[in-house]
Amino acid sequence: MSISDISTSIGNIHLSNPLILASGILDENGHTMKRILSEGAAAVVTKSIGMEERNGYKPPIVATDDPIFINAVGLPNPGINDVGEEIKIARESGKPIIGSIFGKDENEFIHLAVKMQEYGVSAVELNLSCPHVKGFGSEIGGDPTLVKKIVKGVKGSISIPAWAKLSPNVTNLLDIAIAASDSDALVLINTVRGMKIDIYSGRPVLSNKVGGLSGSSIKPVGIRCVYEVKSNLDIPVIGVGGIESALDAVEYIMAGATAVQIGTALWKYGRAVFSKVSMELVEFMSSEGYEKIEEFRGIALK
């Protein structure tokens, strides 16, 4: 019996398996990223990096009540000038490092993308969508004109691929996806806006009040977004939202995703989630008689 091949490619970026570490989870430090890559992730996306250092919001920044996971960390990051060394360390793994960036307009995005390219990342991921930073991503991801400008500006300024990460918190996702379709891939989805109230104090739990819901409770939203975009556009899509097992990843792939990202599941399974999901994927494929991922990619769209 032949062994299932779980490798995949997004444009010219080859991945030994379809699993990428999502932005914002254990991906600010070069050694940690390197460790996650050595333990089974095929690539990592860095924490979203902006023009300057940000401390993020005051605690509480997460509200959890399994399977509900809501965060409002406020994009804490070291700023673009201090992230080069971490990327250099992560690159020693030999695997693709994707530089996530956020800015307030196309000029900031262009500056950050050029810097990321200088640091040697394999692609940049444009975080157009962070739903809980006032004055930043929340407006950008919902404005098709600005999204188009940013993607076009970045694409014209770098020679590496640019992926656009979109938010599910918009009225018409397809309009935004079309506006971002000059990018090399779309990443779907960022967190879903949510809230938790402490019923004993009668107050919102998070210091920012509103946060982003992630983890298994958003998987059906992510699947719907990937399916909706892939039904209408011919562009590679990377699925993210609530993936904890290979069966979750297979759902995204059947909706048309080329690869997937995993974030919140690291809280539950630790770094071992990547080797766990890879092993389960090989098991699923051999039991279903699939030799390659392409054999079931997008089958739900037909």
Catalytic residues: 130
What b/e string do you get for 112-121 counting C-beta neighbours within 10 Å, with b at 16 or more?
bbebbbebeb
- Which one-letter amino acid corresponds to residue 115? K
Q: Of the candidates 20, 22, 113, 249, which one interacts with ligand FMN according to CB under 6 A? A: 22
The correct pick among 19, 41, 43, 73 for binding ligand FMN (CB under 6 A) is: 73
Binding mask 229-268 for ligand FMN (x = CB under 6 A): -----------xxxx------------------xxxx---
Residues 36, 266: Cα–Cα separation, whole Å: 10
Place of tokens 């946060």: 211
Rounded-to-integer distance, Cα 153 and Cα 124, Å: 13
CB nearer ligand FMN, residue 22 or residue 112: 22
Closest CB to ligand FMN among 70 and 293? 70
78 sits near ligand FMN (criterion: CB under 6 A): no
User: Which 3 state secondary structure label does DSSP give 271?
Assistant: helix
Q: Pattern of binders to ligand FMN over 156-175, x per CB under 6 A? A: ---------x----------
**In the bound complex, what is the minimum distance in angstroms from residue 286's beta carbon to ligand FMN?**
25
Cβ-based burial of 60 (10 A; exposed 0-12, middle 13-18, buried ≥19): middle
User: Which residue's CB comes closest to ligand FMN?
Assistant: 24
Q: Given the complex with ligand FMN, which of 15 and 218 has the nearer CB atom?
A: 218
Per the CB < 8 A criterion, the answer to whether 89 and 34 are in contact is: yes
Between 204 and 290, name the residue whose CB sits nearer to ligand FMN.
Answer: 204
33 binds ligand FMN (CB under 6 A): no
How far is Cα 174 from Cα 257, in angstroms, rounded to an integer? Answer: 16
Which two tokens mark 2?
Answer: 């032949």
CA 171 – CA 162 distance, rounded (Å)? 24
CB of 249 to ligand FMN, least distance (A): 11
Peptide bond into 59 cis (omega under 30): no
Q: Does 24 bind ligand FMN (CB under 6 A)?
A: yes
Question: Which helix H or strand E contains 229, and what residues bound it?
Answer: helix 219-232
Residues 186-225 binding ligand FMN (CB under 6 A) are 190-191, 214-215, 218
- Report the nearest approach of ligand FMN to the CB of residue 128 (Å): 9
Report which of 127, 179, 172 is spatially closest to residue 152, judged by C-alpha positions.
179
User: Which one, 4 or 74, has the nearer CB to ligand FMN?
Assistant: 74
Instruction: Point out which residues bind ligand FMN (CB under 6 A).
Output: 22-25, 47-48, 71, 73, 75, 100, 127, 130, 165, 190-191, 214-215, 218, 240-243, 262-265
